[in-house]
Homo-oligomer: A and B are copies of this chain.
Amino acid sequence: MRRNWGNWGEFDAPRGSKSKKPVELKEIGEFGLISWIRGKMDLRDSNIASGIGDDAAVITPPKRCVSLVTTDILIEDTHFRLDYTDPLRLGKKALSINLSDIAAMGGTPQYFLLSMGLPLHLPFRWIEEFFHGVQQVAEEYNLSLIGGDTSLARKLTINVTLIGRGKAGEVIYRKGAQAGDQIMVTGTLGNAALGLRILKSHKGDSSISRAGDSDLAELIEKHFSPTSRIAEGRLIAKNHLASAMIDISDGLMADLGHILEESHAGAKIWISQLPLSEAYRRKAPQYISRDIDLAISGGEDYELLLTTPRKKGEKLLGLFRQSGLKITPIGEIVDPRYGLRLLLDDGREYTPRRKGHDHFKKPR
């Protein structure tokens, strides 16, 4: 049975009450919340023997498959600010960033667990909208919430663990890139980082995305609602088209760096080939001095970055064209002694101001 998410405010002030104060978490209680979540979320999979409501979830592993497991934590004031994040989009993002990791292995997502640290005075309506976002993504990708934990916290904290499946012979690792392989990337680069930059320059006022400038709206939306390239990952995996793959969460350079490290390889990237959106091309020069840098080092695009043996490159491009999906060759894997270099059209090397995101180090 589909649950009715349109039925907002079921925990709002009791009828007849004159209070206009929104209902807070402390009035619902921990077990009220868990029971509410359990009632809202569908189990979409007959392989779940037990989901929420026992000490551990019990799932029957798919036959002839490996399990893929990933986890990501989102913390208030580190990953998002409550004052300029809407809960629906944050709910979507909490799942999307994990989906992206399963996409990067070429897998199919199935189950997730959700831990939340919640401030006592959080309006219950915030939680309702957050779960509305979670459920939109769960529905789109046919995911089941099988467990979680809820706790009190000063800063809102969200941890998602996502479990998927893959066929052993199809899984794509970070290791495996070889000299001569083409480097390709899905979608476009830099939109999410530019969207965040724009938002910050407007002091977080996300209403600018509704002010009629469709470029601004597109860039800001990519920051708030990254897409997960599950379809692209599956297309690549089932046709055995990639020698290595990763999702771009910390920026092109940082994440290509991970592939190179695990594969013991070097790489050339052609700056002029980096796929940029029209919105990026038009807006980036207004917000940063070296307008390519966010496409090189900006995080959170959640596009797939992969290497493909040269003889498979044409087939890959053809399959993506047929499927209406976007992918762009941007460079080549070379000998590890070469390192990682970004090249301009005239052959000169380009050095961006910063290389990627490190949570514990200030950007240089």
Contacts and interface: CB of A to CB of B under 8 A. Distances in A.
Contacts of A361: 26, 29-30
A262 B25 CA distance: 24
Given A55-B246, A115-B159, A154 B77 contact: yes
Contacts of A59: 66-67, 69
A232 to B, nearest CB: 14
Interface string A117-131: 110100000000000
B58 A358 contact: no
B360 A153 contact: no
A157 interface: yes
A164 B50 CA distance: 14
Given A164-B56, A173-B50, A78 B153 contact: yes
A48 B100 CA distance: 21
B67 A117 contact: no
Q: For this complex, into which size category does the number of interface residues on chain A fall?
A: 35 or more
Interface string A34-70: 0000000000000001100111111111100111111
A113 B360 contact: no
A160 to B, nearest CB: 9
A167 to B, nearest CB: 11
A64 to B, nearest CB: 10
A178 interface: no
Copies in the complex: 2
A101 interface: yes
A255 to B, nearest CB: 10
A177 interface: no
B174 A55 contact: yes
B78 A358 contact: no
Contacts of A154: 77, 154-155
A107 B50 CA distance: 14
A242 interface: no
A282 to B, nearest CB: 32
A151 B278 CA distance: 33
Interface string A173-214: 110000000000000000000000000000000000000000
A73 B168 contact: no
Of listed A25, A75, A359, residue having the most chain B CB within 10 A: A359
B73 A30 contact: no
Contacts of A111: 69
Nearest to A247: B55
Interface stretch (A1-9, A142-150, A318-326, A345-353): A142-150
A28 interface: yes
Closest 9 A-B residue pairs measured CB to CB? A61-B61, A56-B70, A55-B104, A159-B159, A55-B101, A73-B115, A161-B161, A56-B68, A30-B359
Given A33-B360, A61-B65, A75-B117, 15 more contacts: A55-B174, A56-B107, A60-B67, A61-B66, A67-B67, A69-B111, A70-B113, A70-B147, A71-B115, A71-B161, A73-B159, A78-B117, A150-B359, A157-B157, A161-B161
21 contacts: A29-B360, A33-B360, A50-B171, A55-B70, A55-B100, A55-B174, A56-B102, A56-B107, A56-B164, A61-B67, A69-B111, A69-B147, A70-B147, A71-B115, A72-B115, A73-B149, A78-B152, A78-B153, A151-B359, A152-B360, A157-B157
